[in-house]
């Protein structure tokens, strides 16, 4: 099994980010601005712009530099990345949506049944409904699935972008790669969470840097775990 040093990967991600920060930040800003357009803008951002950001990070990790043209160079790959993410998020999203609906529905029923003169503790009511009942169970299961699928499905987009897999085979490859290297992937996730917490301390400014660096770090980890050579330096 190939040796992978997480701290070294973060160091490489930082070096590559310093050279390509304008590309990554530009794609993110464009996605945010376009998403402000009702309906169609959100669709464009989700279907095209965010996958382009993922592709840009992958290309930076693989070859050291990229460009806006390369990020949008293959629309079919961007659509595949979008569909992949949609498949992974579909079931958890449905469960969470149903959970929220049931929690709100229960709160409305309790409010309607309570005598008008009764003093209502809305905070306690919401906590009670979230932690118990069908809505709480659906929310819990949904968020657990989000965590599991994110942990095991993170590598799928890079398998697609590398041309090694289609949409459905990428799911199997990602789960297999993570299972074989679970310790390394879990440490990588913990390191990312730690950097996010640290990045949020200085008024959240560092959070933006960590978030954009992650678009380079995760494909670097994928390339390292699959034995492919990524960019060693900027």
Kindly report, residue by residue over 58-75, the tens digit of the pLDDT: 999 999 999 999 999 999
Is the pLDDT assigned to residue 163 strictly greater than 60? Answer: yes
**HEC readout, 100-144:** HHHHHHHHHHHHHHCCCCCCCCHHHHHHHHHHCHHHHHHHHHHHH
> What is the average pLDDT score of the chain?
87
Better-scored residue on pLDDT, 3 or 125: 3
Residue 128 is predicted with a pLDDT of 55
Kindly report, residue by residue over 83-99, the tens digit of the pLDDT: 999 999 998 999 898 88
Among 156, 167, 169, 168, residue whose Cα is nearest residue 226: 156
pLDDT level of residue 112 (50, 70, 90 thresholds): low
pLDDT level of residue 42 (50, 70, 90 thresholds): very high
pTM: 0.85
**What's 45's DSSP letter?**
I
What integer is the mean pLDDT of 146-170?
Answer: 94
Rounded Cα gap, residues 49 and 65, in angstroms = 18
Kindly report, residue by residue over 167-225, the tens digit of the pLDDT: 999 999 999 999 999 999 999 999 999 999 888 876 667 888 999 999 999 999 999 99
Residue 234 is predicted with a pLDDT of 47
Residue 225 is predicted with a pLDDT of 94
Residue 134 is predicted with a pLDDT of 77
CA distances for 57 relative to 103, 133, 134, 201, angstroms: 39, 42, 40, 25
């Amino acid at each position: 099994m190939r040796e992978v040093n997480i701290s070294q990967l973060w160091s490489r991600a930082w070096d590559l980010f310093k050279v390509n920060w304008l590309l990554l930040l530009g794609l993110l800003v464009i996605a945010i601005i376009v998403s402000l357009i009702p309906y169609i803008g959100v669709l464009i951002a989700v279907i095209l712009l965010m996958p382009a950001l993922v592709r840009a990070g992958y290309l930076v990790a693989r070859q050291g530099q990229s460009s806006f043209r390369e990020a949008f160079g293959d629309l079919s790959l961007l659509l595949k990345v979008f569909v992949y993410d949609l498949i992974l998020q579909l079931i958890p999203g449905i469960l969470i949506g149903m959970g929220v609906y049931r929690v709100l529905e229960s709160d409305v029923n309790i409010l309607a049944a309570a005598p008008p003169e009764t003093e209502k503790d809305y905070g306690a009511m919401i906590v009670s409904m979230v932690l118990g009942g069908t809505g709480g169970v659906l929310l819990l299961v949904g968020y657990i699935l989000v965590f599991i699928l994110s942990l095991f499905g993170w590598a799928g987009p890079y398998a697609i972008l590398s041309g090694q897999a289609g949409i459905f085979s990428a799911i199997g490859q990602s789960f297999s790669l993570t299972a074989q290297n679970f310790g390394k992937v879990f440490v990588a996730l913990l390191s990312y969470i730690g950097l996010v917490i640290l990045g949020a301390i200085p008024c959240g400014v560092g959070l933006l840097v960590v978030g954009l660096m992650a678009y380079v770090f995760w494909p670097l980890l994928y390339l390292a775990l699959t034995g492919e050579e990524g960019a060693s330096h900027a």
